[in-house]
Amino acid sequence: VAIRRSSGDLVLNVDSDTTLASDVVAKLALKMQDPAVGAAMGQLVASNRGDTWLTRLIDMEYWLACNEERAAQARFGAVMCCCGPCAMYRRSALLLLLDQYETQLFRGKPSDFGEDRHLTILMLKAGLRTEYVPDAIAATIVPDRLGPYLRQQLRWARSTFRDTLLALRLLPSLDRYLTLDVVGQNLGPLLLALSVLAGLAQFVLTATVPWSAVVMIASMTIIRC
């Protein structure tokens, strides 16, 4: 409703628990001066970083996700998820995609999770670039207990797997690096889980140290880094 009633050229999406630095709007708008850019996101930090060991780790995770993953994807003009806490969109593109965005289905049922990733994929499918602006800082509240964090991660993982399926045909047209990156992001956790289960099974059944699983996990970690 807000998008349809708006009149500006740009729309800024901000989560209710997010605080923006004073120059965020100006820096994101500067990136949007290029008419080929449909969306741009800023860098996320944890506003409650000092609360617990978990919030400190999540803040580190956000830094890596923004300044490694998003920054690398932005080199090709194809950030795969402009995150919900702080993202700016070109209103003319939003209006063209809004009906499709509002009625998104997954396996025939309405989908109400991972809307930021889904909208980013729609932007890329429309032929627009999506960008990352590292000095546009947005501070958001992160879970400080393990239970809520795991529920959040499960919801995000469902979104990642779902929208990767939607984007498979799109990936080759973007860049071979992006295809490798996105496929690796999805296969990595599955292979990691398989390695852990295989190691536990070997330990339980044979009472021997599962060195093959340890080496596999270490190799995957090094390759990912």
Helix (H) or strand (E) holding 202: helix 176-206
Q: Identify the pLDDT of residue 25.
A: 96
Half-sphere exposure of 202 (CA within 13 A, CB side): 13
- pLDDT bin (cut points 50, 70, 90) of residue 185 is confident
The whole model's pTM is what?
Answer: 0.84
Is 79 a residue whose pLDDT tops 90?
A: yes
The domain spans of the chain are: 1-174, 187-224
> Residue 37: left if φ>0, alpha if ψ -120 to 50, beta else—which one?
beta
Distance between CA atoms of residues 162 and 174, nearest Å: 19
1-174 is a CATH 3.60.15.10 domain: no
Which residues are CB-neighbours of 155 under 8 A, at least 6 positions away? 113, 114
What number of residues does the chain have?
225
Q: Provide, rounded to the nearest whole percent, the portion of the chain with pLDDT above 90.
A: 54
E strand residue ranges, the chain: 10-14, 18-20, 37-46, 86-90, 105-106, 109-110, 129-140
Burial status of residue 218 (CB atoms within 10 A of its CB: 0-12, 13-18, 19 or more): exposed
β-partners of residue 78 are 130
Q: Identify the pLDDT of residue 23.
A: 96
Tell me the two tokens of residue 204: 């339980």
- pLDDT bin (cut points 50, 70, 90) of residue 86 is very high
